[in-house]
Structure 1
Amino acid sequence: MWDLDRFAENTAVMDDRGNVLSYAGLKAYGNELCSHLKSRSLVMQLARNTIGSFIGYISFLDRKIVPLMVSSALNLDQKKHLLNCYHPSYLWLPSDMSSEFPEYPEIFSLYDYSLLKTDYPSDYELYPDLALLLTTSGTTGSQKYVRQSYLNIKSNAESIISYLKLHSKERAITSLPMHYTFGLSVINSHIKVGATILLTDKSIMQKDFWDFMKKYGATSISGVPYTYEMLKRLRFPSMVLPALKTMTQAGGKLSVELQQYFAEYALETNRHFFVMYGQCEATSRMGYLPWEKCLDKPGSIGGPIPGGKYYLIDADGNVIDKCNVEGELVYEGDNVTLGYAHGYKDLFLGDERHGRLCTGDLAYFDEDNYFYITGRNNRFIKVFGNRVNLDEVQFSLREKFSELECAVIGRDDLIMVCMLSDGNASAVRSFLEERLGLNHNAIKTAVVEKIPKNESGKILYHNLVKDLL
């Protein structure tokens, strides 16, 4: 899977606790760990950005053991629910969490992680090409997981390597969680070229993160829109980071203002800033905007990754061949995953998508064939007979009020803007009334304690809908 022997002498990982591991050392530890597991078994991994978790993930995939990647931040009930849904033969978890499962014996430990043997019967079949189970929902504990194949992971990593021009001298820092598809794509693509992972579970809001990044000379940093909002607040351009060469963004639509802000910074300092597009259902990446076009095509997700294909379809499934016409974005490529699983009985299922993914995202392309996301299919409501895209409403508010943190939800005949304070409430309502041409009764604001988000920074709209609508 990884060709670890080829890069035996290279440094595979350095963590913020002083641990350093070569590719040869990574393979040796992997052999030791996997000698305690049955071949082609399922292991539930409670992931952290630490060396034990990293060794487990790389080693399991390399030896055809299937990891079910789970956030270690889930509460105990959520973890046990997933155990009962998937019946894994093993648990690979932080050693300080072993006491949560006293019914399962520990059979091995390595660094900060322990291997527990469960008592579930392994009487289910794993599809031969099934490599990985990954959630789309962060820390919500959903039992719906994406089934990723070895071909999916390999092809997507190779595409990312191609357009980012990755090589063995790279040092990528883990600014995203390991159980998150974007975070894993950073690891996958760098391990494939024999590069070094700078491993930390610190957040960008902590001084220790930046001390670690500077000390070991991270050459790239990755983030979701929320990451870049925070980087601007942290006055990122004033930081002295001589080794940094590449910045990548995915996980949601970045505002035009932020795209221009970081693109200008990158160009002025001889760095490359890539805006990217992807979904867990396509392993990770589906498209990217070349860094050279970041200022020319504000708001664009660019075109498909090497080996991939984009096109739009209308409500009847017909292909849209005219520019500036909105439709659902469809992607085709070897990285389109096998399908979903809801429990162990689904793990024998084969390829249900056959390389084609209807993304659920609405988009258009311009005269140069650059694509632009406009919203989600399921984020539409009717207000007094008018079709309203809630994503567009939210995006327009963020463009108008740059410091406003908000989330827009709604039901037919009502748009509700959720904000952290009511200081801008009157201005927000007036702006939307004028922009949308709607009666003021159709627009309300609500003050909330926080905007709920998953670990990738995506807003959990259903939590707000449940509480407010």
Structure 2
Amino acid sequence: MKRFDTIGQYGERTAIYADRAYSYDEMIEAADAIAREVGDRTLVFCLCANTKESIFGYVGFLRGRIVPLLLDAAIHSEQLQNLIDRYRPTHIWANREHNQLAQEMDTTYGYGDYALFECPHVIEHELHDELALLLTTSGSTGSPKLVRLSYDNLFHNAASIVSYLNINEDDRPITTLPMNYSYGLSIINSHLVSGATIVVTEASVMQKEFWQLCRNQHVTTFGGVPFVYEMLQRLKFETMELPSLTKLTQAGGKLNPDLASAFTGICERKGIQFFTMYGQTEATARMSYLPPDQNREKAGSIGIAIPGGELTLRKETGELITAPNVVGELVYQGANVSLGYAEALSDLASGDENEGVLYTGDLAYMDEDGYFFIVGRIKRMIKMHGNRISLDEVEDLLRAHGHECVCTGTDDELYVYTLHDDRAAIKQVIKDMMHTRGVTILQIDAIPRNESGKILYAALPKRELVTT
């Protein structure tokens, strides 16, 4: 399975459905041709969209032991240039009409809508032998801080996901997430190694074409971050006729409890398995999942560790927590834990700095049955007048009182953001329940999110409107 070296066994089975069906044999032929044009083991950038060209390039790079950095095709030109200057790729696999690249670089090869742009001033990269892939951290795609993933990371995690989701050749997922996002990429990896057929589209769940494609191509599964499920609720997903759909997956943040309960009920009525999952890019993708038969009894839980992984809790002192219902930092151990970070070209030669252990930065507890529940982020903690406050818990408190808010803050400064004209009511809840001062409540037009739907807390405004 390492480097997609066994997928040739699927031969004439359909690997990708895009403008038409492409067999595994066709995909491998195109993928290997792209890699041959790059040649030696080196660093390339892949500007990703949900297209056959992006996927074929990615598959070819891994098969050819070429290390790709996966970036959003819509990355801002200045951010892209900063990354090029810092990491000096030899080639960039991108849409042949990419304005910035087409003006500055020559192309050496083309396939479909994509071309291989040759970067000037090529250098010889020193790459660690196990380095397979680079992904951006969950923040800005223009950040120079990258996650270094090995071949073992990628394919151990894919095997675990195949195991607990019971993925097989008959599965037909449809793309709903960017492939440069670890969750979206994990769907591609786990289904390709299983001989499944991936229905590839750039249409969103808000477009009729997406649902028409689902029906025409007999889609069996798709995944989404919380924002996607909010959209599905608005679209009245429960009324849709999708007889082939058998599995839904959710990750990328905690689902609103009411929304989680609603989708549990919808999926039960429709005979669909609904998996909520937890992961981080630093662990390739997945670390835990909640079995669908526990969705009601263990509502709000991230579940149990994936096959081959282990979850534990640690006190601030590093001491292991074994008792139930005691909060500590969630620690994951497994073969999918990344090698470490890269912030400069020289870091690409570094070895395994994590040694299979990831301190997640999440605060959690374990119940009596061994199921884990996240209560907040260590970095999402502030002190208000000497008392530690979890920003996630403030959001949960306000949600419990009917207010959908997001919160940021620094010590002795708490900012609450709402989309509605309910600032007075929020102020009253905070006064009654938290007994704290120095809270600024702001009404905004929209909550800033990245391409995978995660809230961009750093992009929230700081202008004062109402202060309690």
Any conservation in 2 of the 1:257–1:399 contact (CA below 8 Å)? no
Q: Matches of residues 442-457 of structure 1 in structure 2 within 5 Å?
A: 442-457=438-453
Percent identity, please: 43
Is 1:14 aligned to 2:10, yes or no?
no
Any conservation in 2 of the 1:139–1:455 contact (CA below 8 Å)? no
Offset at residue 360 of structure 1 (A): 0.3
- Structure 2 CA distance, aligned partners of 1:263 and 1:46? 36
Offset at residue 11 of structure 1 (A): 0.2
Offset at residue 140 of structure 1 (A): 4.1
Residue 250 of structure 1 is matched in structure 2 by 251
Residue 274 of structure 2 is matched in structure 1 by 273
Secondary structure class of the residue paired with 1:26: helix
- Structure 1 CA distance, aligned partners of 2:313 and 2:65? 36
- Structure 1 CA distance, aligned partners of 2:343 and 2:413? 34
- Structure 2 CA distance, aligned partners of 1:354 and 1:13? 35
Secondary structure class of the residue paired with 1:287: strand
Is 1:420 aligned to 2:416, yes or no?
no
Any conservation in 2 of the 1:287–1:304 contact (CA below 8 Å)? yes
Q: Deviations over 1:237-273 (max 9, x none)?
A: 1110000000000001112211111111111221100
Residue 167 of structure 1 is matched in structure 2 by 168
Deviates more, 1:406-415 or 1:147-156: 406-415
Unaligned runs of 5+ in 2: none
Which letter does structure 2 place at the counterpart of 1:462? A
Any conservation in 2 of the 1:74–1:139 contact (CA below 8 Å)? no
Any conservation in 2 of the 1:138–1:180 contact (CA below 8 Å)? no
Offset at residue 405 of structure 1 (A): 4.4
Call closer, same or farther: CA 1:335–1:465 in 2, change over 3 Å: farther
Residue 7 of structure 2 is matched in structure 1 by 4
Number of corresponding residues: 462
Offset at residue 395 of structure 1 (A): 2.3
Any conservation in 2 of the 1:87–1:121 contact (CA below 8 Å)? yes
Unaligned runs of 5+ in 1: none
Any conservation in 2 of the 1:255–1:395 contact (CA below 8 Å)? no
Offset at residue 146 of structure 1 (A): 0.3
Secondary structure class of the residue paired with 1:259: helix
Call closer, same or farther: CA 1:395–1:185 in 2, change over 3 Å: same
Q: Deviations over 1:187-244 (max 9, x none)?
A: 0000010001110111111121111112111100100111111111111111100000
Residue 240 of structure 2 is matched in structure 1 by 239
Q: Deviations over 1:329-364 (max 9, x none)?
A: 000000000000112211100100000000000000
- Structure 1 CA distance, aligned partners of 2:183 and 2:31? 23
Offset at residue 34 of structure 1 (A): 1.6
Which letter does structure 1 place at the counterpart of 2:312? Y
Deviates more, 1:51-60 or 1:447-456: 447-456
Is 1:28 aligned to 2:21, yes or no?
no
Any conservation in 1 of the 2:441–2:464 contact (CA below 8 Å)? no
Which letter does structure 2 place at the counterpart of 1:218? V
Offset at residue 35 of structure 1 (A): 1.8
With normalisation by structure 2, the TM-score equals 0.96
Deviates more, 1:356-365 or 1:2-11: 2-11
Any conservation in 1 of the 2:414–2:439 contact (CA below 8 Å)? yes
Offset at residue 468 of structure 1 (A): 6.7
Any conservation in 2 of the 1:174–1:198 contact (CA below 8 Å)? yes
Deviates more, 1:111-120 or 1:98-107: 98-107
CA RMSD after TM alignment: 1.5
- Structure 2 CA distance, aligned partners of 1:139 and 1:415? 23
Secondary structure class of the residue paired with 1:125: coil
Is 1:147 aligned to 2:130, yes or no?
no
Is 1:298 aligned to 2:299, yes or no?
yes
Deviates more, 1:55-64 or 1:158-167: 55-64
Residue 224 of structure 1 is matched in structure 2 by 225
Offset at residue 100 of structure 1 (A): 3.6
Residue 431 of structure 1 is matched in structure 2 by 429
- Structure 2 CA distance, aligned partners of 1:309 and 1:115? 41
Which letter does structure 2 place at the counterpart of 1:141? G
